[in-house]
A and B are shown apart, each in its own frame.
Chain A
């Protein structure tokens, strides 16, 4: 397993996780996550080369149901929790530039 976590790595992971962290938080996070990673490296003691990974406790796959139409939630109910809305839409900041090209 890799060596100690760096602040740079923490900033990268925060970006992947879409979490804005302040400088102080980055330092704290680096220390605390390093300690946890150090602890979980205990798993390296085991030889798992011939072990199948287990993602789920029960053996089940592809649970299918009949493809029957049924009512979903009403737009009113769905919009009721939206922080900003313009019915029947949810408002978000502009995603695409005005500059054209796309």
Chain B
């Protein structure tokens, strides 16, 4: 069998049954990386030797677990005690983390093999990977188009079969949007479900780690392994982790699917609109009730997000001062000059813009008008969901308005790029889980481009969300489709 052309669980089972060895598996993936990573630029760093060594340990029976031998890619904003952790920024170009990110560590403890670290928009700020200091990642479905972002490298690595599953982080849609644009399942868990320890902070009240996979079942497995309380992250939830994998097979009875007009606008590509209709029909066929819900503050999500996220980012990124780690300028005049020039040289334009915006909305005289007001609107947005979830179990909506856009299409105007996240940011503001599932393909100039459907659920209701996602997966039937490279 070709270990690079199956599902994560399929590969895991094949390795466990000794139909293929972990070493053969890792070699097959490394071979593909050699061939396809240069044109796609999904990985910034690949750990050949470490991966082969771990594979040999799996084959020798020294490493066991539910993910034994499975090659995984991690977004390069997750600290690993090996290799570099750069956040695709010049600021951290040579940074070597002294500890491991809990989510990555949990995968490794379950037997997974980390193949490498992937490209992102610098410090996860962006929706296309065009803000990476090490070049953008290209969409495997069409290399003239973006893979989405900020976790574009992790999405493209999986779409191109350069790993069997990957990790992203989602602050305003950074897992779900690239999953949609690359034809994958992308899950943002409830805030606090997965530890953020070792995830380089962007906006701490919104950031959450989650998996990219080819199938819903694979997503359940990675979530299963990563979830749970971590004493090293006091915001991680100290509540039991359900059996996501086992519960996937439980029947769905009496399910109520919510549709909100705010997410079904004319701006949606006709292919997206049709995919929603098809999903609605599939849910009805399985006995679900479709209910209309109202999320009246949806349109305020983007402005709220760009105040809250940049405020938190300006504070979080204050640590990059050129003193203890990261880039330091040469021949500073004094300490303030060292700070200001190190930061000016180390950060790219979008990161600077967000630090400026965040600093401004928190500054004396503007705090109430911008930041405090945004926090109040955040509560209104959460209130919308609380009310909606009295009437339904999950909201069905698009992940994005359409398929992947071309490079450069949205770089001139930051606002246009921000509007990409219009359907995803509210889940982060409210703290609820969201999953993007492949919903079909748009054909643009003869090229097939994936689109995604999104399900938004109640807090800590990932189990049901995944079961609902499986309905769309079965109906759309496109999870086995792969781009021609």
A36 near B231: Cβ-Cβ < 8 Å: no
Encoded as 1 (CB less than 8 Å from any A CB) or 0, chain B from 307 to 335 comes to: 10000001000100111111110001111
B377 near A2: Cβ-Cβ < 8 Å: no
A36 near B366: Cβ-Cβ < 8 Å: no
The residues of B that contact A37 with a CB separation of less than 8 Å are 357, 360
The residues of B that contact A95 with a CB separation of less than 8 Å are 335
A48 near B373: Cβ-Cβ < 8 Å: yes
Q: How far is the CA of A12 from the CA of B472 in the complex (A)?
A: 51
Q: How far is the CA of A19 from the CA of B358 in the complex (A)?
A: 13
CB distance from B336 to the nearest CB of A (A): 7
Please judge, given known A-B contacts A36-B414, A43-B374, A93-B335, whether A57 and B382 are in contact too, CB under 8 Å. Answer: yes
A36 near B352: Cβ-Cβ < 8 Å: no
CB distance from A58 to the nearest CB of B (A): 5
Kindly state the interface size class of chain B when it binds its partner: 35 or more
Please judge, given known A-B contacts A21-B344, A43-B300, A90-B324, whether A29 and B353 are in contact too, CB under 8 Å. Answer: yes
Highest count of chain A CB atoms <10 Å: which of B326, B333, B356: B356
Q: How far is the CA of A54 from the CA of B378 in the complex (A)?
A: 6
The residues of B that contact A51 with a CB separation of less than 8 Å are 376-377, 379-380
Q: How far is the CA of A42 from the CA of B418 in the complex (A)?
A: 15
Q: Counting CB contacts under 8 A, is A40 at the interface?
A: yes
Looking across the interface, which residue of chain B has its beta carbon closest to that of A21?
A: B344
The residues of A that contact B328 with a CB separation of less than 8 Å are 83-84
CB distance from B341 to the nearest CB of A (A): 5
Please judge, given known A-B contacts A39-B303, A57-B191, A77-B98, whether A13 and B324 are in contact too, CB under 8 Å. Answer: no
A43 near B191: Cβ-Cβ < 8 Å: no
Encoded as 1 (CB less than 8 Å from any A CB) or 0, chain B from 346 to 364 comes to: 0100001101111110010
Interface of A: prevailing SS: loop
A10 near B356: Cβ-Cβ < 8 Å: yes
Please judge, given known A-B contacts A16-B359, A18-B321, whether A40 and B375 are in contact too, CB under 8 Å. Answer: no
Q: How far is the CA of A81 from the CA of B380 in the complex (A)?
A: 43
Q: How far is the CA of A33 from the CA of B413 in the complex (A)?
A: 11
Task: Name A81's contact: one of B95, B377, B418, B429 (CB within 8 Å).
Answer: B95
Interface residues of B in 278-323 (CB under 8 A from A): 297, 299-300, 302-304, 306-307, 314, 318, 321-323
The residues of A that contact B356 with a CB separation of less than 8 Å are 10, 13-14, 17, 19, 29, 33
The residues of A that contact B98 with a CB separation of less than 8 Å are 73, 77-78, 80-81
The residues of A that contact B327 with a CB separation of less than 8 Å are 83
Q: Counting CB contacts under 8 A, is B268 at the interface?
A: no
Q: How far is the CA of A51 from the CA of B339 in the complex (A)?
A: 38
A81 near B96: Cβ-Cβ < 8 Å: yes
Encoded as 1 (CB less than 8 Å from any B CB) or 0, chain A from 53 to 75 comes to: 11111101001010000000100
CB distance from A40 to the nearest CB of B (A): 4
Q: Counting CB contacts under 8 A, is B198 at the interface?
A: no
Looking across the interface, which residue of chain B has its beta carbon closest to that of A12?
A: B363
B343 near A90: Cβ-Cβ < 8 Å: no
The residues of B that contact A41 with a CB separation of less than 8 Å are 303
Q: How far is the CA of A35 from the CA of B353 in the complex (A)?
A: 12
Q: Counting CB contacts under 8 A, is B6 at the interface?
A: no
Q: Counting CB contacts under 8 A, is B5 at the interface?
A: no
Using A2-B369, A51-B377, A90-B324 as known contacts, list a sample of 14 further A-B pairs with CB atoms less than 8 Å apart, ordered by residue number in A.
Answer: A1-B370, A2-B366, A13-B359, A17-B355, A29-B356, A35-B414, A37-B360, A43-B374, A53-B372, A57-B430, A81-B326, A92-B323, A93-B332, A95-B335
Enumerate chain A interface residues (CB-CB to B < 8 A). Answer: 1-2, 5, 9-10, 13-21, 25, 29, 32-33, 35-37, 39-44, 46, 48, 51-58, 60, 63, 65, 73, 77-78, 80-84, 90, 92-95
Q: Which 3 pairs across A and B sit closest by C-beta, in order of nearness?
A: A57-B431, A53-B375, A83-B328
A-B CB contact pairs (8 Å), 27 listed = A2-B369, A9-B360, A13-B359, A17-B314, A18-B339, A18-B340, A20-B344, A29-B356, A37-B357, A39-B302, A39-B303, A39-B415, A43-B303, A43-B304, A43-B374, A44-B373, A46-B300, A48-B377, A51-B377, A53-B376, A55-B205, A56-B205, A57-B206, A57-B429, A81-B96, A83-B325, A93-B334
